[in-house]
Amino acid sequence: MKLIIAIIRVEKLEAVQQALADSDVYLMTVSDVRGCGRQRGFTEVYRAQQHVVRLLPKLKLEIAVNDAFVEPAIEAIVRAARTGETGATGDGKIFVLPMDDCIQIRTGETGNVAIGP
Amino acid sequence: MIRKRWIGSLAALGVVVGISAGSASAADACSAPKLDTGDTAWMLTSTALVLMMTVPGLALFYGGLVRSKNVLSTLMHSFFCAGLISVTWVLFGYSLAFGPDKGGGLIGSLQFAGLKGILGTANPLAPTIPAMLFVAYQATFAIITPALISGTFAERMRFPAFALFMLLWSTLIYTPLCHWVWGGGWIATRVGALDFAGGTVVHISSGISALVTALYLGKRFGHGHEPMPPHNLPFTVIGASLLWVGWFGFNAGSALGSNELASTAFVNTNTAAAAAGLGWLFAEWRRAGRPTLLGAASGAVAGLVGITPAAGFVTPLAAIIIGVIAGVVCYWACSLVKPRFGYDDALDVVGVHMVGGTIGALLTGVFATAAVNAAIPALTVTNLTGGLLYGHPALLGKQLVAVVATYVFCGLGTLVLLVTVNAVCKLRASQEEEIVGMDLSQHSERAYELGLGESLAFLRVREPRSASVPPVLGGRFTVAMENVEPAKISDHWRNLCQDHGVPPTPEFKLVYSQFAVLRGARFRFRGGDREEIRRSLERLFKNASPMARAVIENEDAAYEVQAWGPERSTLLPA
């Protein structure tokens, strides 16, 4: 069992979700996050007051998968979250973490069966 | 015929002059009003338009400019003013402003308190409409003026103090000032300054009070070091647009009749708003490098403020000049002067209303002409037929007196009120309240429940499957690089993935389109023509290492176990 954490561009959510669904990965938790990486921020101007925005809005996907789905899930995310033909700075990152256990609250099932599709 | 009615209406405006202080009661002067249905219809419409300026116009204009944690409290400022002053205006506000003069032009009496004796009469200022309608029309002005001030103390004033301050300000500052300028008080009858629709009464008064309030309250927590960008500019632009449209009721309605003067004021209002919007936009474009929508919207409002005192006294060409000057100067005031002095006028009430109102009041003394409004000689007391441009610098002097009087009275009056209110109930929110936001700390409400919501709903769901059997997808395979130093592989590949400003090579495109991950010397692909991808990858690496060789590894199952089994986890980046 692994926990996949993916940081992606906000506008890529639908594409990534569809790609994951095509690989039979449906369950995920999505949250609004802000972060800074190598992608530079941008400057906003309001009534001549400049604000440099360094923390950019991103989405965080948390996906728990069984080992066999790790690679399909990663493939789906990288395929859908890349920008254009060559990718671009700021497309995001994927973290794969080992996961000790998983418990379905409703049924009390644990382990591989509890992860669900 | 039309001309006759127009002149009649102008003469009515001039009646102000005819009433010497305290000699004739307003009720006596108009015991037999001759109502005009056209005038009444237009003034009913104007009244609704001006109320629309406050709610929702000003509320949205200000609401969009604050941070999301303060939007409700900011909307509340305008909404509360509409509620509070609608009531106090009926009870005593109208009477204090427009009742028979007391104290030599300083304040009205309480004769009309509770609107007693209003039915069946007309105010001499507007003899062709019911006095009851004049009450309603003036109420909308009384509402918007204190609401304008609220922009300066947005995001940091406690609500109880705000409510008390508004009650006192509208009663003790607005009504006397309104009386001085429109209700037969000293500025109208002794000085003879021109103020068509409220440049001094509404805009300078709220602007200078805003400046005093900003200085007295101090800066918002974090002002100057943390950004405080507007949270919803579409709100602001909708609000500015509603203000623009509502201002036709404000200015054209101030003709107090349905006539040519109203039409002139209408054209002037629209022209000045447009010119000022352009003025601000180009000034900003030139100085900051970008034209912004907020700039255009702010400029339009500045132009509307600027033309307010002049709308019924100047030609449309003068309106363009007034608009451009108001737009450009207000931009400087907000972008250069405010940061220089460092006061925290949160939503630029000073820069737009005080500066714009002052520009408008003074330029009225330059551009006013009796050719546009035949009542000017009577209104100026000393029979001037125009402003500086028409050879009468004296009018500019009168305008200056009215402006200075407003500055002094409203500035000092506001300071006294602030000190008084602060003694009774604390004005400034605590630092914790400010950090949480006024919405939660003052009203226990939140404007937005942030979340992704519905965007997650669209999913192509398939048949349920077991969680442990993966789908069989494409021809997944691995290509291993040989004869290249492991450290070089990653370096070279990263370099290939950089944007070099030229279109990528066909080889790279082919490889990249199927590429999933790179682990050590192994490139993992999700599908595609294996041999073609292998050859392209090899060619891509020839630059880095002439001996580079790419080899297809076909053992899918073995790779997966290796890649994700515990024994390989050490290969994952730390």
- Which residue has tokens 């939503």? B347
Question: Of the ranges B213-222, B240-249, B558-567, which one carries the lowest mean pLDDT score?
Answer: B558-567
Two structure tokens written together for B466: 């077991």
Strand partners, B480: B522, B551
Q: How many Å apart are CA B404 and CA B480, to the nearest integer?
A: 84
Residue B462 phi, psi (nearest 5) = -105, -175
Residue B552, helix vs strand vs coil: strand
Two structure tokens written together for B302: 């500045």
Helix or strand (DSSP H, E) at B94: helix B94-98
B163 confidence band (pLDDT: 50, 70, 90): very high
Query: How high is the ipTM of this complex?
Result: 0.72
Q: Do A46 and B292 touch (CB under 8 A)?
A: yes
Interface membership of B348 toward A (CB under 8 Å): yes
Highest mean pLDDT of the ranges A44-58, B51-65, B92-106, B478-492: B51-65
Residue with the bigger pLDDT between B325 and B461: it is B325
Residue with the bigger pLDDT between B496 and B91: it is B91
With 60 as the cut, is the pLDDT of residue B13 above it?
no
**Strand pairing report for A56-65 and B107-108:** unpaired
Mean pLDDT across chain A, nearest whole number? 87
Two structure tokens written together for B459: 């999913």
Query: What residue type is B520 in one-letter code?
Result: G
Q: Taking CB atoms and an 8 Å cutoff, what residues of chain B touch A52?
A: 227
Return the pLDDT at B467.
60
Return the pLDDT at B562.
43
Interface membership of B462 toward A (CB under 8 Å): yes
With 90 as the cut, is the pLDDT of residue B294 above it?
yes
Q: Is there a contact between B519 and A96 (Cβ–Cβ < 8 Å)? A: no
Strand partners, B376: none
Interface membership of B457 toward A (CB under 8 Å): no
pLDDT tens sequence across B389-408: 999 999 999 999 999 999 99
Q: How many Å apart are CA B569 and CA B574, to the nearest integer?
A: 10
- Which residue has tokens 């609250």? A105
Return the pLDDT at B398.
94
Interface membership of A39 toward B (CB under 8 Å): no
Q: Taking CB atoms and an 8 Å cutoff, what residues of chain B touch A98?
A: 569
Return the pLDDT at B3.
39
With 50 as the cut, is the pLDDT of residue B14 above it?
no
Return the pLDDT at B450.
55
With 50 as the cut, is the pLDDT of residue B342 above it?
yes
Interface membership of B230 toward A (CB under 8 Å): yes
With 50 as the cut, is the pLDDT of residue B222 above it?
yes
Q: Do B458 and A14 touch (CB under 8 A)?
A: yes
With 80 as the cut, is the pLDDT of residue B15 above it?
no
**Strand ranges, E, within B373-416:** none
Residue with the bigger pLDDT between B462 and B230: it is B230
Interface membership of A100 toward B (CB under 8 Å): no
Burial track B417-455 (b if 16+ CB lie within 10 A, e otherwise): bbeebbeeeebbbeeebbeebbbebbeeeebeeeeeeee
Of B52, B445, B448, B437, which Cα lies nearest the Cα of B238?
B52
Interface membership of B563 toward A (CB under 8 Å): yes
Interface membership of B334 toward A (CB under 8 Å): yes
Average pLDDT over every residue of B270-297: 95
Q: Is there a contact between A53 and B495 (Cβ–Cβ < 8 Å)? A: no
Q: How many Å apart are CA B450 and CA B81, to the nearest integer?
A: 29
Average pLDDT over every residue of B294-298: 96
CB-CB: which of B288, B467, B516 is closest to A116? B467
Return the pLDDT at A51.
77
Return the pLDDT at B10.
40
pLDDT tens sequence across B404-458: 999 999 999 999 999 999 999 999 999 989 988 999 999 988 898 754 444 444 4
A43 confidence band (pLDDT: 50, 70, 90): confident
Interface membership of B456 toward A (CB under 8 Å): yes
Q: How many Å apart are CA A69 and CA B510, to the nearest integer?
A: 25
For the whole model, what pTM was predicted? 0.73
**Strand pairing report for A56-65 and A92-98:** unpaired
Return the pLDDT at B455.
43
With 80 as the cut, is the pLDDT of residue B111 above it?
yes
Q: Taking CB atoms and an 8 Å cutoff, what residues of chain A touch B465?
A: 24, 117
CB-CB: which of A13, A48, A71 is closest to B288? A48
Helix-helix angle B393-424:B205-217, to 10 degrees: 40
Which residues 138-157 of B are in CB contact (within 8 Å) with A? Answer: none
Residue B430 phi, psi (nearest 5) = -75, 165
Q: Taking CB atoms and an 8 Å cutoff, what residues of chain B touch A30?
A: 452, 456
B568 confidence band (pLDDT: 50, 70, 90): very low
Interface membership of B558 toward A (CB under 8 Å): no
With 70 as the cut, is the pLDDT of residue B19 above it?
no
The nearest alpha carbon in chain B to A70 belongs to B564
Residue with the bigger pLDDT between B450 and B526: it is B526
Average pLDDT over every residue of B179-193: 88
Share of chain B above pLDDT 90, in %: 64
B250 confidence band (pLDDT: 50, 70, 90): very high
Return the pLDDT at A111.
84
Q: Is there a contact between B68 and B231 (Cβ–Cβ < 8 Å)? A: yes
Q: Taking CB atoms and an 8 Å cutoff, what residues of chain A touch B467?
A: 66, 69, 112-113, 115-117
Average pLDDT over every residue of B488-494: 85
Residue with the bigger pLDDT between B496 and B564: it is B496
Q: Is there a contact between B446 and A7 (Cβ–Cβ < 8 Å)? A: no
Widest CA span in chain B: 110
Return the pLDDT at B471.
57
Return the pLDDT at B465.
56
Of B361, B362, B355, B364, which Cα lies nearest the Cα of B301?
B355
**Strand pairing report for B477-482 and A29-35:** unpaired
Q: Which of A4, A32, A75 is the best residue to mutate to test the B interface, defined by the most B CB atoms within 10 Å of its own CB? A: A75
CA neighbours closer than 13 Å in the CB half-sphere of residue B542: 9
Q: Which of B223, B338, B468, B522 is the best residue to mutate to test the A interface, defined by the most A CB atoms within 10 Å of its own CB? A: B468
Interface membership of A11 toward B (CB under 8 Å): no
CB-CB: which of B294, B452, B517 is closest to A30? B452
Strand partners, A44: A51
Residue B83 phi, psi (nearest 5) = -70, -55
Residue with the bigger pLDDT between B467 and A42: it is A42
Q: How many Å apart are CA B81 and CA B97, to the nearest integer?
A: 18
Q: Is there a contact between B266 and B248 (Cβ–Cβ < 8 Å)? A: yes
With 60 as the cut, is the pLDDT of residue B492 above it?
yes
Mean pLDDT across chain B, nearest whole number? 86
Helices marked H in B308-392 — which ranges?
316-332, 338-341, 349, 355-367, 376-379
Q: How many Å apart are CA B463 and CA B209, to the nearest integer?
A: 67
CB-CB: which of A13, A87, A116 is closest to B497? A87
Interface membership of A40 toward B (CB under 8 Å): no
Interface membership of A21 toward B (CB under 8 Å): yes
CB-CB: which of B229, B331, B458 is closest to A51? B229
Interface membership of B573 toward A (CB under 8 Å): no
CB-CB: which of A68, A71, A115 is closest to B469? A68
Q: Do B516 and A74 touch (CB under 8 A)?
A: yes
Q: How many Å apart are CA B253 and CA B136, to the nearest integer?
A: 12
Average pLDDT over every residue of B140-168: 96
Of B283, B251, B253, B255, which Cα lies nearest the Cα of B268?
B251
Return the pLDDT at B567.
37
Two structure tokens written together for B503: 């279109």
Two structure tokens written together for B342: 């460092």
Residue A15 phi, psi (nearest 5) = -65, -45
